[in-house]
Amino acid sequence: MTTVRHILQEKGSAVWTVPPDASVRDAIIMMNENNIGLVLIVKADELVGIVSERDIARKIILRDKSSVTTPVKDIMTTDITTVTPDQSIDACMTLMTGKHIRHLPVMDGKKLAGLVSIGDVVKATILEKEQLIKELQNYISG
C-alpha cells in the first residue's frame, strides 16, 4: 500500500510558505518563481491558510482588488484538510474527490511535512496499479 510518506520520499518535502501579512503580489511572485499553483500561509510555524491561483483569480482579479495592498490573510482558505505521512493514497484520493480539492498539506504531528497534489496522488495510484498488474501476470504465468 502506497502512503503519503512514499510520495514525499519520491518528490521531496519542500513547501513554499508566506506569512499572513504578506501581500497577494508576494504570493504570486513566489508561485511564478517556483512554478507552483499554491502557497501555504504559516504563522509562528503553524499552518493557518492556503492561497491558490484560483483564490487570486476569484478574490482579487474578479473583485478588482489590488494584489499589492491586499494581504493573503484576506483571501486565504482557512478550512484546511490535511493528511498524515502514513495515510494511504486511496484515502487521499477519497478526500480530494469528495471535497473537490487539489492539494493536501501533510502534517506530521504539528509539523508541516510537505504537500501532495492531485497529480502526485494520481501518479502514485497508476504506479501502484501497474505493479499489481505485473504481480498478477507473474502469478498467472508462473
| pLDDT, position 14 | 92
- Give 82's pLDDT tier (boundaries 50, 70, 90): very high
Model confidence pLDDT, tens digit, residues 121-138 = 999 999 988 888 888 888
Q: Is the pLDDT of residue 142 over 80?
A: no
C-alpha dihedral, 28 to 31 to 32 to 34, nearest 10°: 160
Phi-psi map region of 9: left, alpha, beta (phi>0 left; psi -120 to 50 alpha): alpha
Cα distance between residue 112 and residue 41, in whole Å: 11
| For helices 89-99 and 4-11, angle between their N-to-C axes, nearest 10 degrees | 90
The burial class, CB within 10 Å (0-12 / 13-18 / 19+), for 114 is buried
Nearest to 92 by CA among 55, 119, 129: 119
Cα distance between residue 67 and residue 81, in whole Å: 26
- Of all residues in the chain, what percent carry a pLDDT higher than 90? 87
Nearest to 125 by CA among 100, 90, 98: 90
Model confidence pLDDT, tens digit, residues 63-77 = 999 999 999 999 999
| pLDDT, position 137 | 84
Q: DSSP label at 82?
A: -
8 A C-beta contact, residue 28 and residue 56: yes
- Give 23's pLDDT tier (boundaries 50, 70, 90): very high
